[in-house]
Chains A and B, each alone.
Chain A
Amino acid sequence: MVAHQFDDAAQQREASTLGMWVFLATEIMFFGGLFAAYTAYRYKYPVGFAEASRHLDLLLGGINTAVLLTSSLTMALAVRSAQVGKRAQIVGFLVLTMLLGLAFLGIKAYEYHEKFAHHLVPGASFAFGGMHAREAKMFFYLYFAMTGLHAIHMLAGVAVVFYMTVAAARGKFTPGYYNPLEVTGLYWHFVDIIWIFLYPLLYLIA
């Protein structure tokens, strides 16, 4: 189970964990570019952004936040189950994590559909009343860019969790070997943290 380039399992574990943290640092900077764009334009157009933000469904966003927070709990508990060697529990918690992730994406899809129906998707069919249409368009552009990028990461996360679920079902993880789960968890929690910031910044401006 120890790859040839490593001296022992401990080195492999530490390298793998550090590798995931370095990757997460790159992800912070990747999303960071969009956060920088958001900060610049919110600073420039506070009124337009506030007006546009009101068109987002606070309740759905809030529910989605709760969904993701719960999925982080189940993910953490899945890792813990591996630490204490409870195979069925690992699978159970991973399945829950996946379902919650899919629920998040489902609600997001519904929200996107609503935006499309109300002509709030920037592009040819965008329609926004009042003086601040231009700024609102900028807001929605950033809304779709940031939540879209986040959703892509969620999707990738769900895929990885699915892969881990299959591995867990096959008994791959033991108290002596569960690092892949640990680093999957790190990724999952990170994507949750991005949403922890997206929710107030996008939904709670006004």
Chain B
Amino acid sequence: MTSSETIEPRVNYLNCDYSLKSWLLTTDHKRIGIMFLISITFFFVLGGVYAGLIRLSLLSPSGSLVSAQSYNKLFTMHGLIMIFFFLIPSIPAVLGNFLIPIMIGARDLAFPRLNLASWYVYVLGATFTIITAVTGGVDTGWTFYTPYSSIYSNTHVILMATGVFITGFSSIFTGLNFIVTIHKMRAPGLTWFRLPLFVWAIYATSLIMVLGTPVVAIAITLVGVERIFHIGIFDPALGGDPLLFQHLFWFYSHPAVYIMILPSMGVISEVITCFARKKIFGYNFIAFSSLTIAVLGFLVWGHHMFVSGQSIYAGLVFSLLSFLVAIPSAVKVFNWTATLYKGSISYDTPMLYALGFIGLFTVGGLTGLFLATLGMDVHVHDTYFVVAHFHYIMVGGAIMGYMAGLHYWWPKMTGKMYPDIWGRLAATVMFIGFNLTFFPQFILGYLGMPRRYHVYPPEFQMLNVFSTAGASILGIGYLIPVVYLLWSLRYGPEAGPNPWKATGLEWTTPSPPPTFNFDKMPVVTDEPYEYSREINTRE
């Protein structure tokens, strides 16, 4: 490890300047990370409200809580907000922004002003979303399928599409910044294979952000133009092909799911190794698997279109490629498990989330294979089976990974420790609530309950009631950390530079770090995750 001092300075990135202006005009990657944290938390709550309304509505088979069109708006807004305004920015813009420069021994990202621009662009796109939400929302589904979105829908498609288009640039700026930073600004001695696996994960994510987002931007621009000019680019009656939109849309939106999961996987790699006190098993494999997922993830988008009228030959190719992309994910799960084996495991809050991630992500991933199987997908496409599958990955996987990361690096970001007992309680409540919400949905989907319908056959009611009950428990689970994390800011004990006795450059700086991260630029001589060398005692 390095030899830099860890005396806690009086001045850190938080208290150096309290003025609002110093925050709004900051170029400090740590402050920008905190600003993103606040923004995405707001949207998580908003998306959660929509989810709550959906589950409430689905308590009764006749769906009498809201009208059919309102229901369509609920799931559309839920999806759009959760994907574009919470999940995609979450780990990269919060934890990535905060940690990447510190993890590689740099003073800041390569382009600090571009980083600030990324936040402002996010806020601008978010504003369009809020306006859309309060003026009646959109009812096209987050997927904006044509020709409904381009011709027939009477809702604020263009407003919302503009919001998504703008926010896409936030993603592109962040990804570009990370790629250049990781290539060019690593500390002396920090070769690629000494990098924390979190950095590899963020790098792979950034590649996807940068290469995929522009295509969906064009896709929704064309929808907007079509709505205004009615040329027929996606209208079959005028010679257009709705599937062209779907190709352009899913070219990004499938890799987008890897944008959402790869950073979480990066967090898990960090957390597992720390709380098993054991060097990660198969570092190279995990590093390369991140890149492989990024590349293969771009080759499988047609599996969202098996029953759309896409050529069956294309479907066959996409199905086969979709099987392939499961392999690098499985490699990670095997390696994490092997890391746990004969490790000295402690069940602190971050570890609970990480363990939950491994189990739930595995379920979600395996059910993805069901869906990649063309013949099977014909039966369960557009049912709750799909809904359950992606929520296992996005909530059971990605969000749990985000929670793990938030709890792992909270002491670093704030200098305070939260009460671990409450953290573990919240994680447990979340785990229970999550499974109660979404496992019944696998059954419902398999039995044939369609998704995006506000009504359903009465025989499905019991499972829907379980699901809604689970959702309320899950909601409580998410509320608990808000309380104790905020509490910790004021009343929590000082965390010190390395409360978890973890390896990694970020744990050699004070908590919270000073504005320029290091008193002296580090020189890296050690391999990562050298836990076997340390004495495994905890204060």
Contacts and interface: CB of A to CB of B under 8 A. Distances in A.
A7 B247 CA distance: 44
Contact of A138 (B106, B225, B239): B239
Interface residues of A, number: 34
Given A15-B185, A33-B218, A138-B239, A26 B176 contact: yes
Contact of A33 (B110, B214, B240): B214
B317 interface: no
A115 to B, nearest CB: 14
Contacts of A23: 176
B248 interface: yes
A45 interface: yes
B111 interface: yes
Contacts of A37: 222, 233, 244, 248
A169 interface: no
Interface string A37-51: 100110011000000
Contact of B247 (A27, A36, A145): A36
Interface in A1-52: 3-7, 11, 14-15, 18-19, 22-23, 25-27, 29-30, 32-34, 36-37, 40-41, 44-45
Nearest to B228: A123
A137 B32 CA distance: 47
Contacts, number: 104
A5 B109 CA distance: 7
B313 interface: no
Interface string B168-192: 0000100010011101110000000
B179 A27 contact: no
A186 B109 CA distance: 22
Contacts of A34: 218
Contacts of B112: 3, 5
B229 A123 contact: yes
A45 B240 CA distance: 11
A26 B233 contact: no
Contacts of B185: 5-7, 11, 15
Contact of A30 (B214, B240, B241, B516): B214
A12 B210 CA distance: 21
A30 B215 contact: yes
Contact of A4 (B107, B111, B181): B107
Contacts of A6: 110, 185
A14 B251 CA distance: 31
Contacts of A29: 211-212, 214-215
A77 to B, nearest CB: 28
Contacts of A101: none
A5 B239 contact: no
B233 A25 contact: no
A112 interface: no
Contacts of A11: 184-185
A158 to B, nearest CB: 21
A34 B215 CA distance: 9
B482 interface: no
Contacts of B108: 4-5
8 contacts: A5-B107, A15-B180, A25-B210, A26-B172, A26-B213, A34-B218, A36-B247, A138-B239
Interface of A: 3-7, 11, 14-15, 18-19, 22-23, 25-27, 29-30, 32-34, 36-37, 40-41, 44-45, 122-123, 134-135, 137-138, 141, 145
